Amino acid sequence: MTPADNKMLTRVGPATPMGRLLRCYWLPLMESPDVGPPEGPPQRVRLLGESLVAFRDSAGRVGLLEERCPHRGASLYFGRNEEGGVRCVYHGWKFGGDGTCLDLPTEPAGGPLERGVRARAYECREVNGVVWAYLGPRSDPPPLPELGWTLVPPTHRGSLKYQRECNWVQALEGDVDTAHLGFLHARFRSDGRREVSFHEGDRLRDEATRDTRPVLHVLDTPAGVMIGARRDRGDGSRYWRVTRFLMPFYTSVPSIGTQRRAKAWVPIDDERTMVWEPNWNPSAPLSDEERLVEKARVPASGMRPDDGTGYGRGRFVASRENDYLIDRSRQRASNYSGLEESPPLQDAAVQESMGKIADRSRERLGSSDAGILRVRARLLDAALRLERDGIEPPGVVDPAAYRRYGSQFVLPEGSDWLGAAEAQAP
């Protein structure tokens, strides 16, 4: 990949090709409780490199405004959320959730500013406990994607969220990289053999260490890419691990029993990513045992307290500054990486070690990187088509294409893996 291609792939600002692509889609912004109550304090949000404030107005509607007041640029985070809008504490100018200026108490009544002042505002929708934002150009936004975890009530869903201190693409690529499972996430058994160190209830969890040279089958789908990784089991059967990528930044790895799993890699800006990691049961509330699976993914060393800026949520104590608390004795004796047995932390250590934005022009890729290559190509092709020809990106107006999720199964040699993957219930 050339430096120019890498720049196009990774930058998300309003004036960039990939930024324009991402803004064609609805973006998960916050969970409903995080917005707060009606007339509660505004919440700082940073999304695609834009500094914003979210709030719930007197009627319970969610508003999303540029943080900068259009008068003199003061932060609306300090504003008073009252009587249907946010009032800037500097001069009392007040704005509704749609950006309309509701009051100009320092200006003459009937003056020209009453008709001409607006705050930059973005449309929001709230469904099943998730608040979505649309930062795109359409006056009539597209439908929301029908992702499985967004179609169920909060009782049926867990939702772990954390920051990744690197660019969104290199974070996302870890989820479509099936070859690393038997190494980075492995621990040692008493006989010295490696086994995957997460999801104890998964009867297929050790298959990734049985054959460390998966053969990848990579296919485009209406809204993304499907990667089938085939591993030989040595008995005439094959283990298939099917991962989904859905535009612009969703992934889904195999389900565990009735619990389906996905991630959203939401760019905070070019160098930081907010990772949503939902797990859900489509037909029943999550059990206590299923919720323990989610909690077990949080590092034992815990999360840092919010630093008060509004952007410091979801950061691990283990970080680049303390070498992710690597334990070399643990690396020799109990697990492969020497890191705490938390897959999100283990992934963070290697992905953030590549730098804030990885230099892909220096890579030496192999056959096990075929899924990553296809995802990059899909994103770049969509961005170029939008930029050059105005062609709407895949999936924007096809919400049903998002009713897909990862899967895993064992089949006899020569069986139809694609049919088995597609036969799974949406």
Same domain, 218 and 339: yes
Asked whether residue 139 is assigned to any structural domain, the reply reads no
Same domain, 303 and 386: yes
What domain range includes position 71? 26-134
pLDDT, position 72: 95
As averages over each run of 10 residues, the pLDDT of the chain (426 residues) reads 96 97 98 96 96 97 97 96 96 96 90 84 97 96 96 93 96 94 85 68 69 93 96 90 96 85 96 95 89 84 81 88 96 92 94 97 95 98 97 96 92 92 78
Same domain, 228 and 362: yes
The model carries a pTM of 0.94
pLDDT, position 43: 95
Give the phi and the psi of residue 30 in degrees, each rounded to 5. Answer: -155, 165
Asked whether residue 71 is assigned to any structural domain, the reply reads yes
User: What is the CATH classification number for the domain harbouring 125?
Assistant: 2.102.10.10
**Rounded distance between C-alpha atoms, residue 166 and residue 110, angstroms:** 49
Same domain, 128 and 203: no
- Cα 277 → chain centroid: 7
Same domain, 106 and 166: no
Rounded (to 5) percent helix, strand, coil in the chain:
30, 30, 45
Paired with 86 in beta bridges are 81, 95
Question: Among residues 281, 254, 277, which one has the least CA distance to residue 264?
Answer: 277
Residue finishing a domain among 134, 157, 185: 134
Residue finishing a domain among 65, 99, 134: 134
Asked whether residue 11 is assigned to any structural domain, the reply reads no
Q: Is 229 helix (H, G, I), strand (E, B) or coil?
A: strand
Asked whether residue 305 is assigned to any structural domain, the reply reads yes
Same domain, 360 and 310: yes
Give the phi and the psi of residue 87 in degrees, each rounded to 5. Answer: -105, 120
Same domain, 274 and 408: yes
Same domain, 47 and 156: no
Looking at the structure of the chain, the number of domains it has is 2
Asked whether residue 142 is assigned to any structural domain, the reply reads no
pLDDT, position 257: 72
Residues ≥6 apart with Cβ < 8 Å to 99: 65, 118, 119, 120, 121
Same domain, 187 and 108: no
Q: Is 323 helix (H, G, I), strand (E, B) or coil?
A: helix
First to last CA, the chain: 35
Same domain, 197 and 272: yes
Asked whether residue 418 is assigned to any structural domain, the reply reads yes
Cis, bond preceding 285 (omega within 30 deg of 0): no
pLDDT, position 205: 66
Do 17 and 248 meet the contact criterion of CB atoms below 8 Å apart?
Answer: no
Do 118 and 100 meet the contact criterion of CB atoms below 8 Å apart?
Answer: yes
Asked whether residue 16 is assigned to any structural domain, the reply reads no
Same domain, 118 and 158: no
Same domain, 130 and 155: no
Asked whether residue 3 is assigned to any structural domain, the reply reads no
Residue finishing a domain among 134, 163, 189: 134
Residues ≥6 apart with Cβ < 8 Å to 263: 172, 175, 250, 251, 252, 253, 275, 276, 277, 278
